[in-house]
Amino acid sequence: DAGVIQSPRHEVTEMGQEVTLRCKPISGHDYLFWYRQTMMRGLELLIYFNNNVPIDDSGMPEDRFSAKMPNASFSTLKIQPSEPRDSAVYFCASSFPGRAGEQFFGPGTRLTVL
């Protein structure tokens, strides 16, 4: 298995633009998590899905952020409009049924908003 796949790996955009981050979880995993990591705030859980259904989105910072999981093999995190304070590394992770704690992380997307 190729592991969790994220794209793009790097994204540089200007303030106000829409940004879409993509994730393909490991096949057979039914949990999918989106995290944001910054030096100041560490690793923060934004939202997670179980069987494609959003379970907890309390970590989503504001309405500019949205996430979808249309099927078991694909999820997106969208920021519209983007702001400089959104600059961070965004990780996607997935895990096996009943083992939400043992997560496999993707390589991350480094987002820079100018």
The residue (of 81 and 89) whose beta carbon lies closer to another protein is: 89
What's the CA gap between 61 and 100, in Å, rounded? Answer: 22
CB of residue 12 to another protein, shortest distance in Å: 19
CB of residue 107 to another protein, shortest distance in Å: 6
For residue 96, count other CB atoms closer than 10 A to its CB. Answer: 14
Question: Which residue, chain included where needed, has tokens 């560490």?
Answer: 42
- Strand-pair partners of 67: 77
Interface residues toward another protein, by CB under 8 A: 33, 42-45, 48, 50, 55-56, 91, 100-108
The residue (of 82 and 103) whose beta carbon lies closer to another protein is: 103
The residue (of 62 and 102) whose beta carbon lies closer to another protein is: 102
CB of residue 95 to another protein, shortest distance in Å: 9
- Strand-pair partners of 21: 77
CB of residue 81 to another protein, shortest distance in Å: 27
The residue (of 57 and 81) whose beta carbon lies closer to another protein is: 57
Do the beta carbons of residue 65 and residue 46 sit within 8 Å?
yes
Which residue, among 35, 14, 39, 22, has the nearest Cα to 113 in the 3D structure? Answer: 14
